[in-house]
Amino acid sequence: MDAPFAQNPDMRSREFVAGGWRTLVVLASVALALRTVDAIPGWLSGLPRGVHLCPSLREAEARTGLRLDRIAPIAARTAGSIRATASPVPAVAIVLDDDRSQLTFFRSRGGSIPTLLRPPPSAFHEIAVPLKPGLSASLKAERQADGSVWQDLEWSEGEITTALRFGGRTVELLRVARQLVEAAP
Amino acid sequence: MGRRAAECILHGIVTAVVVMMVLRAQRIRNPEARLRCWLFAMAVPLLGTPLFWLLSPWRLDEHFRDRWALFSASHSSPWAWHGVELATALAWLLAFAGAALFLRDVIPFVLDFARGRSVKRTATSPSAVLAGAVERAAAALSIALPRLTLLQSQHPILSCRGLRKPVIVASTGLCEMLSPDELAAAIAHEMAHVKHRDPMLGWGLMSVRALCFFNPAVQLAARAAAGEIERRADRSAACVVGNTRSLVDSLRKLAGSASASHLSRSWHRLRVAAIEERCQALLREKNTDPTAISPWMLLATAMGLGAILFLTVA
């Protein structure tokens, strides 16, 4: 831009608009690049945005503020993966494996367990099951694509919602659930 | 603390990238405007990021990170090695790079300073040519006549020192090496530093670098700012003497004769390359380049960048 160019108001305003567009493109590119870099770990690990894979229960507690030290009855099983999310409500999902069957433990505070962690069960059968006096849980049975039947047990105490998803026998699922309820403060 | 330092580094990098891209996109060549942009890039992680922490501490909550953040380092949690997350490892790596860049520049500077102090040089009265060059440059730049010290030394020495009362220090070796025109141009360059209070700015830059020694973006922005300070002085000197060629010749002679005895070879090579780049810029560019970016545009850019940084969490 030389002196005569700068003195021409029409050219100046045109240059101003072009400069504005260039700046906008720069800022948009940077924002897009940041968003892309942010999304890469999720794409590679298959985890949706906002769901974190935690290396330990302590890390999951730090991220969500949920107390997980009372799950001793099921913590003896090998923890396969610990996923946590803070939004829309703080929640964790812990996959526990043993040599017979797989158990997934869910817990959330202030609302139902987010679908990011637990897809809503497509139940063909649902009954209420008492866990202790004054506390009953909802037991749902759902059939998987491979024909196997999984059970989903969910109950709430105060603002804490807990759920267990299990591929084994109902009796064992209820035993684990009662142990958890008894262990709770 | 570590997470906050990481956020300073992250914001510094994003700001430096935006500044670099805006300077290119807007084709800003004026050293004054470029210097302001780089100073802004240094100020953001130093002042802007702590301001975010102060005004909106909830930015660091998981809910904000997951729902609103454009980028959150915590989203790289699936990538960990022996319990160390990738983001943490990267932050450490960048902090080491920042410290290396700081030490890379500060060690030769300190050594140079210490050796300069230990060597006793006798001062002598300036020659008429030298005194005349200083007087003419001071008149052209409309500044008070600074103190002039001529050292008895074979080495070509020319510098502008002093924070409050500037002093131009030259050596007899310099006067012998440069022709009168080249000497006038070199003196005009140092006088331009006096006019812009560059010694004070230089110490300010070094202080910020020491404060943000772990931030590679601040270190690189400070280097770029130092380069623009020199280019600004070059332009002022070219205006004063009205002859770019003599300034270029004096710069090349000084770069060629600079003693590498107490500087590492690579450092010396870098210095020569930087001076050659300045010479090319002087020969290529016109002195009539305007600032080319309006204050409104700067404000809009700063606000846009502020919004991006607000949504960028370590």
Q: Which helix (H) or strand (E) holds A84?
A: strand A78-85
Interface subset of B 8-37, CB within 8 angstroms of A: 14, 17-18, 21-22, 25-26
Average the pLDDT over each of A95-99, A123-127, B66-70, B165-169 and give the range with the smallest value: A95-99
Any chain B CB within 8 A of the CB of A49?
A: yes
Question: Is B241 inside a domain boundary?
Answer: yes
Q: What is the mean pLDDT of residues B20-49?
A: 91
**B-chain residues near A45 (CB < 8 A):** 78-79
Any chain A CB within 8 A of the CB of B69?
A: yes
Question: Is B134 inside a domain boundary?
Answer: no
Any chain B CB within 8 A of the CB of A4?
A: no
What the block records as the tokens of A32 is 């897009």
- Cα angle for residues A2, A6, B299 (degrees, 5° grid): 115
Among B71, B292, B301, beta carbon nearest to A37: B71
pLDDT bucket at B226, cuts 50 / 70 / 90: very high
What the block records as the tokens of B83 is 């319990």
Any chain A CB within 8 A of the CB of B221?
A: no
Altogether, the residues listed in chain A come to a count of 185
Residues A48 and B200: their CA atoms lie apart, in Å, by 52
CB spacing of A86 vs B65 below 8 angstroms? yes
CB spacing of B308 vs A3 below 8 angstroms? no
CA distance A124 to chain B (A): 34
Best to test chain B binding among A5, A24, A26 (most B CBs inside 10 Å): A26
**A-chain residues near B25 (CB < 8 A):** 22-23, 25-26
B188-211: string of b/e by CB count within 10 Å (b at 16+)? bbbbbbbbbebbebbebbbebbee
**pLDDT at residue B312, as a whole number:** 93
Any chain A CB within 8 A of the CB of B299?
A: no
**The pLDDT of residue B258 is above 70:** no
| Percent of chain B residues topping a pLDDT of 70 | 89
Q: What is the mean pLDDT of residues B71-82?
A: 75
Question: Is B280 inside a domain boundary?
Answer: yes
Any chain A CB within 8 A of the CB of B63?
A: yes
Write out the residue range of the structural domain in which residue B250 sits. 2-75+85-124+142-313
Q: What is the mean pLDDT of residues B209-231?
A: 94
Domain tally, chain B: 1
Any chain B CB within 8 A of the CB of A38?
A: yes
Q: What is the mean pLDDT of residues A112-130?
A: 82
**pLDDT at residue A41, as a whole number:** 82
Nearest to B19 by CA among B3, B2, B42: B42
pLDDT bucket at A168, cuts 50 / 70 / 90: confident
Any chain B CB within 8 A of the CB of A16?
A: yes
**The pLDDT of residue B41 is above 90:** yes
Question: Is B188 inside a domain boundary?
Answer: yes
Question: Is B249 inside a domain boundary?
Answer: yes
Q: What is the DSSP string of B75-142?
A: GGTT-EETTEEHHHHHHHHHHHHHHHHHHHHHHHHHHHHHHHHHS---EEPPPHHHHHHHHHHHHHHT
pLDDT bucket at B120, cuts 50 / 70 / 90: low
**pLDDT at residue A2, as a whole number:** 41
Nearest to A123 by CA among A165, A155, A94: A165
**The pLDDT of residue B95 is above 70:** yes
Interface predicted TM-score (ipTM): 0.81
Question: Is B137 inside a domain boundary?
Answer: no
Residues B247 and B227: their CA atoms lie apart, in Å, by 16
Question: Is B131 inside a domain boundary?
Answer: no
Best to test chain A binding among B11, B75, B301, B309 (most A CBs inside 10 Å): B75
Any chain A CB within 8 A of the CB of B295?
A: no
CA B165 to chain CA mean position, Å: 22
**pLDDT at residue B264, as a whole number:** 62
- N-term to C-term CA, chain B: 11
**pLDDT at residue A73, as a whole number:** 60
- Cα angle for residues A107, A110, A114 (degrees, 5° grid): 55
Question: Is B129 inside a domain boundary?
Answer: no
Any chain B CB within 8 A of the CB of A83?
A: no
CB spacing of A30 vs B18 below 8 angstroms? yes
Q: What is the mean pLDDT of residues A118-126?
A: 76
A-to-B residue pairs, Cβ atoms closer than 8 angstroms: 96
* The amino acid at B210: A
Q: What is the mean pLDDT of residues B177-187?
A: 90
CA B310 to chain CA mean position, Å: 27
Q: What is the mean pLDDT of residues B279-293?
A: 69
**pLDDT at residue A79, as a whole number:** 63
